[in-house]
């Protein structure tokens, strides 16, 4: 993305986001939690088709759709990880949704580093205090709203991947809704 800064249309970027969301919906539907969703783990072909990869941290959840996978030890990618996963090591489809919001931000900012030069500790404290990443330059308001929805503090308030896919499908079918930019 960094090599192509500004070269894609918003609708192309939304198509990429839709592909990622679709892959995550499939994983979630199959009862898996990825735990390391980030732009660096997305494969993109010449047609801009995106595939989720790097399942090194992924785990199977219980049959319960509200299940969470709890882990002890091991490094976690702080900038992409939901607060409950950082604090209590509780990973779920909802924590993957948080990470997806960060991936959206990475895509719309053409690969900027989330939280820029902040230390991991400052990222954790800022999020706890309610800070959320601002909209990247040129980002439609509807996409930033979806990011903010993914970054809800309460994991049960975050969108499911099926909802994310449906929302992005609506944007793709009605691209005029993408013209309103965040002030």
Each of the 183 residues of the chain gets a pLDDT tens digit; together they read 777 777 899 999 999 999 999 999 999 999 899 889 999 999 999 999 999 987 655 555 554 444 544 455 567 899 999 999 999 988 899 999 999 999 999 999 999 999 999 999 999 999 999 999 999 999 999 999 999 999 999 999 999 999 999 999 999 999 988 887 766
Residue 23 backbone class (left: φ over 0; alpha: ψ -120 to 50; beta: rest):
alpha
Q: Does the domain formed by 1-175 have CATH 1.10.287.110?
A: no
As beta bridge partners, residue 33 has 59
- What are the residue numbers of the active site? 36
Q: Check: pTM over 0.85? Answer yes or no.
A: yes
Contacts (Cβ under 8 Å, ≥6 apart) of 126:
115, 118
């Amino acid at each position: 993305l960094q090599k192509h800064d500004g070269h894609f249309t918003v609708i192309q970027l939304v198509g990429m986001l839709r592909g990622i969301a679709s892959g995550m919906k499939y994983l979630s539907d199959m009862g898996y939690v990825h735990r390391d969703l980030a732009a660096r783990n997305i494969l993109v072909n010449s047609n801009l088709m995106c595939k989720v990869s790097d399942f090194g941290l992924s785990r199977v959840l219980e049959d319960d759709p509200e299940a969470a996978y709890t882990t002890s030890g091991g490094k976690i990618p702080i900038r992409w990880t939901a607060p409950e996963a950082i604090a209590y090591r509780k990973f779920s489809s909802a924590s993957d949704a948080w990470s997806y919001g960060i991936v959206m931000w990475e895509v719309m900012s053409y690969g900027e580093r989330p939280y820029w030069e902040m230390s991991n500790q400052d990222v954790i404290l800022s999020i706890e205090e309610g800070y959320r990443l601002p909209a990247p330059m040129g980002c439609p308001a509807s996409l930033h709203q979806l990011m903010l929805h993914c970054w809800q503090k309460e994991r049960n308030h975050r969108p499911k991947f099926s909802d994310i896919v449906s929302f992005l499908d609506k944007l793709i079918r009605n691209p005029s809704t993408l013209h309103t930019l965040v002030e």
